[in-house]
Amino acid sequence: MIRRAVVLLFVVLVLTACSGSEPISSAGPAPARDDTVEELKAALPTADDVDGARAVTTTCPDGGSERCGTRVSEGQQVSRFLELSPVTGTSSADVERAEKDTLLDDIVFVSAWKHETDAAAKKSIAMFRSGQEMYEGSYDIEQERGEGRVSPALAGTGTIETLTLGEWSGLIGNRRGTLTFDDQTEGRVASEASVRSGAYAVVVTVEILREGRPDGHAEKLAREVLGDYLERLG
Per-residue tens of pLDDT for the chain, all 234 residues:
444 444 444 444 444 433 333 333 334 455 578 899 999 999 999 999 999 999 998 888 865 556 665 544 456 889 999 999 877 665 677 667 666 667 778 899 999 999 999 999 999 999 999 999 999 999 999 988 877 777 889 999 999 999 999 999 999 999 999 999 888 899 999 999 999 999 999 999 999 987 778 889 999 999 999 999 999 998
Give me the helices (H) in the chain, please.
2-15, 37-42, 92-101, 118-133, 217-233
Strands (E) in 20-122, as ranges, are 53-60, 76-84, 107-114
Beta bridge partners of 150: 145
Whole-number Å distance between alpha carbons of 175 and 192:
9
**195 vs 217: CA distance, rounded Å:** 20
Residue 122 CB neighbours (<10 A)? 21
Cα 140 from Cα 90, distance rounded (Å): 33
| C-alpha 90: how far from chain center | 23
Number of domains present in the structure of the chain: 1
Contact 110, 204 (CB under 8 A): yes
Domain that holds residue 35: 2-233
Amino acid letter, residue 45: P
**Looking at the whole model, is its pTM more than 0.85?**
no
Q: Do residues 193 and 183 touch, judged by C-beta distance below 8 A?
A: no
Q: What is the model's pLDDT at position 7?
A: 46
CATH number at residue 228: 3.40.1000
